[in-house]
Amino acid sequence: MRLKRREWVLGAGVAAAATAAGAGWALWRQRTSAPPGVEGELWSSAFDTPDGKRLALADHRGHLLVLNFWATWCPPCVREMPALDRFQREFAATGWRVIGLAADELAPVREFLARTPVSFPIGLAGFAGVELSRRLGNVSGGLPFTLVFGVDGALLQRRMGETSFDQLAGWAKGIG
């Protein structure tokens, strides 16, 4: 009887380890990849800007890119804007770019940018931006949501919630 109990405990331990390994792999894969076809959709997207121009994401492919989904009514989004701006200014010389996609309307974005100017482009994504962020892994549809893409356009990093300059700089140093 004792031998069977040991075998059962050993088998349960192996099963638990396999389950944990599978779950870890699934989380890692979710963190570093997007569903097939979504990245192509992203790179073919274009958005109006607060100053009436067009922001085509394809123009930024081939660069290291931080893409931030945000809104003026979102307190953590507003708090992280200075960190994103600082990152853009300090890392632009090493090939990094930041783009903000506002899940918002024109008037509040213009008012916000008049009070808090940033050195990176802002696109007006509206509700479609939230839907795009969902397809890129933002399962809750919450904001802010930040993605990091490599020069090949592949998704390298994803963050739900407020980010900081130190976190962005750490990602940049780890990537290139």
DSSP string, 153-176: S-EEEEEES---HHHHHHHHHHH-
Residue 56 shares a structural domain with residue 139: yes
Using DSSP's 3-state secondary structure scheme, residue 45 falls into coil
Share of the chain above pLDDT 90, in %: 74
State the pLDDT at residue 7.
58
Q: Decide if pLDDT at 24 tops 50.
A: no
Please indicate, yes or no, whether residues 52 and 13 belong to a single structural domain of this protein: no
Q: Averaged over 110-118, what is the pLDDT?
A: 98
Residue scoring higher pLDDT (42 or 35): 42
Mean pLDDT of 90-94: 97
Q: Say yes or no: 107 and 164 in one domain.
A: yes
User: Residues 170, 136: one domain?
Assistant: yes
Q: Are residues 73 and 28 in the same domain?
A: no
Calculate the average pLDDT of the chain.
85
- For the segment 71-89, the average pLDDT, to the nearest whole number, is 98
**Whether 19 and 69 share a structural domain:** no
Residue 21's pLDDT band (boundaries 50, 70, 90)?
A: very low
pLDDT score at 121: 98
CB contact set of 87 (below 8 Å; sequence gap of 6+): 66, 96, 98, 165, 168, 169, 172
Provide mean pLDDT across the span 129-135.
93
Percent of the chain's residues with pLDDT above 70: 78
pLDDT of residue 4: 64
- At residue 95, does pLDDT exceed 80? yes
Res. 41 pLDDT band, cuts 50 70 90: confident
9 in the same domain as 90:
no
Instruction: Give yes or no: residues 15 and 76 share one domain.
Output: no
27 and 74 fall within a common domain = no
User: Do both 15 and 73 map to the same domain?
Assistant: no
> How many structural domains compose the chain?
2
Per-residue pLDDT, 91: 98
pLDDT of res. 25: 35
Based on the domain organization, do 162 and 140 belong to the same domain?
Answer: yes
* Residue 31 CB partners (closer than 8 Å, separation 6+): 137, 157, 158
Same domain, 22 and 102: no
Expressed as residue numbers, the domain containing 169 is 38-175
